[in-house]
Amino acid sequence: MTVTHVTAYLDLKDGSKKTRSHETCFQHFREIAKAGVPTVVFLSRNFEKEASQLSSEFPTICIEFIDIEELETYKEAYRIADLKQPSTPAPEKDTKHFMILMNAKIECMKRAIDKDPFRTSHFAWIDFSIHYVFRDPLGTVAKLREQGTQSFVPCLVFPGCWENDVGYSYVRQSIHWRFCGGFFLGDKESLLRFSELYRKEFTGILEKSGTMLWEVNVWSILEKEHGWNPSWYKAGHDDSIVNVPVEYLRQLS
C-alpha cells in the first residue's frame, strides 16, 4: 500500500444533538475499513470497547486515543474570547466543539504522519462516516482499495463543490463549499506544509471573523487570502468525492 487513511471520531462532550448514533457511525466506518487500506483512527478514550472490536476485525487499523481537549485546535479556539456561532440551519449539530473537530483534520493528519505506522508516501483524510453519502458503496469501497495501492506523484489534492470565487463574500457568515471537506490526499511534505500554515493562521482567521468557522471556510480563506494553493477537482457529497484525477498518479515508465 502507498496510501494511509486518517480519520477521527471523538466525543464532543458538549451535549450536542447527534444526527446519527455512535453505533451507526461505527458501522459506517466498518464498511470503509473493509477496503483494507492502512488507517490511523483517532478515538476518544471512552470508545475503548469499540476500538478493541475494530482492532480485532481489521488488522490494517492503528488506533490512537485522544480526547477533544487535548487537540491544539481546541486550545487555540478557546484562547479567543467571544467567538460567535455562524448562521447554520442545524445549530444543535454545528456546535463550537463540532467545528473544532472539523478544523482538527489537518492536526490529526500531522499526528498520523509523525507516527507513520505503515510507512506510506501519501496520506488521505477520510471522514469517519463518509460511507453514508455513497450511492454505490460497494463500488466506491473497491475504488478506495485500488487507490490505496496506487502510486501518486507529490501533490495536495482537494475535491470541491464550487468553483473559485463562488459565494466568497459570505465565507465568514455561512458554510462555503469551495471544498467538500470529507476527503483530501497529499504526500507527507505537502501535508506538513499545510499543517504549518494552519497553525500559523488559524487563530488570526477566527479573530478577524469573530466567528467559529467550518473547516471548509477556513480552507477557502487560506486559499483566497493567505497564498495556499492546493490542487482542486470538481466533486460533490457523493461517490465523486474520492475520485482523485488520474493526472496525480505516477505514470509507469
Tens place of pLDDT per residue across the chain (253 aa): 899 999 999 999 998 767 789 999 999 999 999 999 999 999 999 999 999 999 999 999 999 999 999 999 999 999 998 899 887 777 888 899 999 999 999 999 999 999 999 999 999 999 999 999 999 999 999 999 999 999 999 999 999 999 988 999 999 989 999 999 999 999 999 999 999 999 999 999 999 999 999 999 999 999 999 999 999 999 999 999 999 999 999 875 4
Distance CA 35, CA 148 (A): 9
For 200, residues 6+ apart whose C-beta sits below 8 A from its C-beta are none
Beta strands in the chain (DSSP E): 3-9, 39-43, 61-65, 122-126, 156-160, 183-187, 231-234
Task: State the cell numbers at 56.
Answer: 480485532
Beta strands in 10-115 (DSSP E): 39-43, 61-65
DSSP state letters, 225-247: HS----EEEE--SSGGGG---GG
Give domain 3-248's CATH number out of 3.30.70, 2.60.40, 3.90.550, 3.40.50: 3.90.550
pTM for the structure as a whole: 0.96
Query: Burial level of 63, CB count in 10 A (0-12/13-18/19+)?
Result: middle
